Amino acid sequence: MSERTYRVIQWATGVVGRTALRHFIENPVLELVGVYVTNPEKVGRDAGDIAGLPATGVIATNDAENIIGLDADCVLFAPMVTDLDMICRLLRSGKNVISPAGPFVPTDRYRAQFERLEAACRDGGTSYHGCGIHPGFSGDLLPLTLTRLMNRIDRIEITEVIDKLRNPMVYIEVMGFGRDPDELLAKPSRSAEAPHIFAQSMSIVVEGLGKKIERLTTKLEVAGATQDIPYPNGVIRAGTVAGQHYEWTGWVDGAAFMTYHFYWTMGDNIEPKWDNGDSCYRVVITGDPPLELRLMGGTQADGRRPFYGLPWTALLGATAVPAVCDAGPGVITHFELGVVRPLGLVRK
């Protein structure tokens, strides 16, 4: 096994970025050399302070040129929205880039973006990998791995279940909770592009099985609050949106083959009352033999199972750093990445 260490930069320190930052500081195989922030209150602070750890001597900067000029092997690029121009600059500056903000897989719709990434990788002798829990794992690598347990596959369904009341998030209003149900159905909170972004994930499974997605169809169902639902930043009023079920289906050989369900709810006082159990990712493969797997956080002392979607997103990127750095130049999907060896995790 290689004894080398990998010099890493954390780009943006939101929820995902802070988890990655903590990992970079604590993992002896990785050496943190830079942190880029936009928030003026974080500029000039030690990375350890931002991550809730002892001082590291690495100071956060909002100067992108300074970051581009650093000698580093890899950048974990986790801003609120992706920035292809900046990713290409980082790649050309000789740094590999791993991005939970996408893009993820070179499907036809995103071909032009990936051509730009490929060109930047060629120029910089670097590689690019889009990562995350979904897109990036639960709806692609995980089910594709599970298909090895099948003799015949009729249908694959991936369900994301998140109770946003038990797993508080800052984007409750942006997500459309508390809106009028008819208004949300007419103008969904998720963009019309979202199914296409997730179809990048679907293509990993479908093409991994030697098939092609012919078309994509979408459905949206909403649940109303049966009573006022207080949450940390406000109240979801009775009768307004307290649950959303997005359903996106990829069709193969004329039949619905792979479906992503997203059940986002604000607690149990909703109608209809979808019975999905604890927050999780559920993979159901219908065929011979039929299969089901649930991915969820471990039980805490209080009996709760937290949903770790954001930390998992960071860690899927952080644990891929050695493999992405060691790979040859170009865009690296799960097909090129193969089985990742996550170094430095077993430690005192």
Ligand X SMILES: NC(=O)c1ccc[n+]([C@@H]2O[C@H](COP(=O)([O-])OP(=O)(O)OC[C@H]3O[C@@H](n4cnc5c(N)ncnc54)[C@H](OP(=O)(O)O)[C@@H]3O)[C@@H](O)[C@H]2O)c1
Span of 8-16, 146-154, 178-186, 253-261 interacting with ligand X by CB under 6 A:
8-16
Query: What is the rounded CA–CA span in Å between residue 141 and residue 136?
Result: 7
> Pick from 77, 98, 141, 88: which is nearest to 327 by CA?
98
SS3 assignment, position 18: helix
Q: Is 97 in the site for ligand X (CB under 6 A)?
A: no
Binding test (CB under 6 A) with ligand X, winner from 80, 235, 238, 256: 80
Residue nearest to ligand X (CB): 14
Taking CA atoms, 18 is separated from 45, 67, 96, in Å, by 13, 17, 19
**Does residue 310 interact with ligand X by CB under 6 A?**
yes
**Both tokens assigned to 44:** 């000039």
42 binds ligand X (CB under 6 A): yes
Of 8, 9, 16, 236, which one interacts with ligand X (CB under 6 A)?
16
Choice between 174 and 301, CB closer to ligand X: 174
CB of 317 to ligand X, least distance (A): 9
Task: Go through 192-214 and write b for each residue having 16 or more CB atoms within 10 A of its CB, e for each that does not.
Answer: eeebbbbbbbbbbbbbbbebebe
Pick the closer one to ligand X by CB: 55 or 80: 80
Closest CA to 104 of 212, 19, 194, 30: 194
Q: Applying CB under 6 A, what is the total number of residues that bind ligand X?
A: 23
Q: Which helix (H) or strand (E) holds 260?
A: strand 255-265
Beta carbon of residue 1, minimum distance to ligand X (angstroms, whole number): 28
Regarding 244 and contact with ligand X (CB under 6 A), the answer is no
- Evaluate whether 276 touches 236 at the Cβ level (below 8 Å): no
Residue 233 sits in the site that holds ligand X (CB under 6 A): no
- How far from chain centre, in Å, is Cα 188? 21
> Which of 297, 322, 329, 319 is closest to 131 using CA atoms?
319
Question: How near is the Cβ of 273 to ligand X at its closest, in Å?
Answer: 27
17 vs 195, which CB is nearer to ligand X? 17
If you count them, how many residues does the chain have?
348
What residue has token string 């078309």?
Answer: 215
- Residue from the set 200, 240, 269, 313 that interacts with ligand X by CB under 6 A: 313
Q: Which of 38, 61, 145, 167 binds ligand X (CB under 6 A)?
A: 38
Cα(48)–Cα(41) distance, integer angstroms: 15
Residues 60-79 that bind ligand X (CB under 6 A): 78-79
Nearer to ligand X, 13 or 203 (CB): 13
Between 133 and 202, CB nearer to ligand X: 133
279 near ligand X, judged by CB under 6 A: no
Separation between Cα atoms, residue 302 and residue 128, nearest integer Å: 40
Site for ligand X in 108-137 (CB under 6 A): 132-136
If you ran DSSP here, which 8-state letter would residue 168 be given? -
Return the number of the residue (37 or 105) whose C-beta is nearest ligand X. Answer: 37
Check binding of 190 to ligand X (CB under 6 A): no
Residue ranges that bind ligand X, judged by CB under 6 A: 12-17, 37-39, 42, 78-81, 100-101, 132-136, 310, 313
